[in-house]
Structure 1
Amino acid sequence: MISDRQLSILNAIVEDYVELGQPIGSKTLIERHKLNVSPATIRNDMKHLEELALIEKLHTSSGRSPSELGIRYYVNQLLKQTSHQQEKKIQRLRALLIENQYDISSTLSEFADELSVASQYTTLVMHPNHNKDIINNIHLIRPNAHLVIMVVVFSSGHVEHLHLASDAPLSNDELMKISNFVTDKYNEWNNYHFEDELMSFVNSNMEKSFIENMLNTIDAHFDNQSNGIYMGGKVKLIDALNENNVSSIQPILQYIESKKITQLLDDMSNSEINVKIGHEIESSLSDISIVTSEYHIDDRLKGKIAVIGPTAMNYQNVIKILNTIW
Structure 2
Amino acid sequence: MPEDRRLPSEDRRLEVLRAIVEDYVETQEPVGSRALVERHQLGVSPATIRNDMAVLEEEGLIAQPHTSAGRVPTDKGYRLFVDRLSQVKALTSPERRAIETFLGGAVDVDDVVQRSVKVLAQLTNQVAIVQYPSLTRSTVRHVEVVALEGARVLVVVITSSGRVEQRIVELEATPGDGLLSDVRSRIMTAAVGQRLPEASLRLADVIGTFAPADRPLVTSVVTTLTHVFSDERSDERVAVGGTANLARFGRDFDTSIRPVLEALEEQVVLLKLLGEATTDPTVRIGLETGTEGLPGTAVVSSAYGTSEQALAMLGTLGPTRMDYPGTMAAVGAVARYVGRQLADG
* TM-score for both structures, normalised by structure 1: 0.85
1:49 alignment partner in structure 2: 56
* TM-score for both structures, normalised by structure 2: 0.80
1:76 alignment partner in structure 2: 83
Distance change (3 Å), C-alpha of 1:95 and 1:63? closer
State the alpha-carbon separation in 1 of the partners of residues 163 and 35 from structure 2: 56
2:3 alignment partner in structure 1: none
State the alpha-carbon separation in 2 of the partners of residues 304 and 37 from structure 1: 44
1:302 offset after TM fit, Å?
3.2
State the alpha-carbon separation in 2 of the partners of residues 100 and 141 from structure 1: 26
State the alpha-carbon separation in 1 of the partners of residues 190 and 36 from structure 2: 66
Alignment of 1:178-257 (within 5 A): 178-186=183-191, 187=194, 188-191=198-201, 195-204=204-213, 205-221=215-231, 223-242=232-251, 245=253, 247-257=255-265
Distance change (3 Å), C-alpha of 1:94 and 1:7? closer
State the alpha-carbon separation in 2 of the partners of residues 240 and 74 from structure 1: 21
- 8 Å CA contact 1:202, 1:208 repeated in 2: no
What amino acid sits opposite 1:218 in the alignment?
A: V
5+ residue gaps, structure 1, are none
1:37 alignment partner in structure 2: 44
State the alpha-carbon separation in 1 of the partners of residues 276 and 35 from structure 2: 37
Alignment of 1:79-94 (within 5 A): 81-82=86-87
1:8 alignment partner in structure 2: 15
Q: Percent identity?
A: 27
- 8 Å CA contact 1:149, 1:161 repeated in 2: no
5+ residue gaps, structure 2, are 1-7, 337-345
**2:33 is the alignment partner of 1:26:** yes
In terms of mean alpha carbon deviation, does 300-309 or 112-121 score higher? 300-309
- 8 Å CA contact 2:277, 2:310 repeated in 1: no
1:5 offset after TM fit, Å?
1.1
What amino acid sits opposite 1:272 in the alignment?
A: D
State the alpha-carbon separation in 2 of the partners of residues 127 and 51 from structure 1: 44
1:60 alignment partner in structure 2: 67
1:91 offset after TM fit, Å?
10
1:146 offset after TM fit, Å?
6.3
State the alpha-carbon separation in 1 of the partners of residues 233 and 102 from structure 2: 23
The secondary structure found in structure 2 opposite 1:151 is strand
Distance change (3 Å), C-alpha of 1:269 and 1:122? same
Q: Size of the alignment, in residue pairs?
A: 318
- 8 Å CA contact 2:128, 2:242 repeated in 1: yes
- 8 Å CA contact 2:61, 2:76 repeated in 1: yes
The secondary structure found in structure 1 opposite 2:188 is helix
1:122 offset after TM fit, Å?
1.2
State the alpha-carbon separation in 2 of the partners of residues 20 and 313 from structure 1: 11
Alignment of 1:55-204 (within 5 A): 55-78=62-85, 81-82=86-87, 99-101=105-107, 103-145=108-150, 147-155=152-160, 158=162, 160-173=164-177, 174-186=179-191, 187=194, 188-191=198-201, 195-204=204-213
- 8 Å CA contact 1:296, 1:302 repeated in 2: yes
1:264 offset after TM fit, Å?
4.1
RMSD: 3.2
1:164 offset after TM fit, Å?
2.4
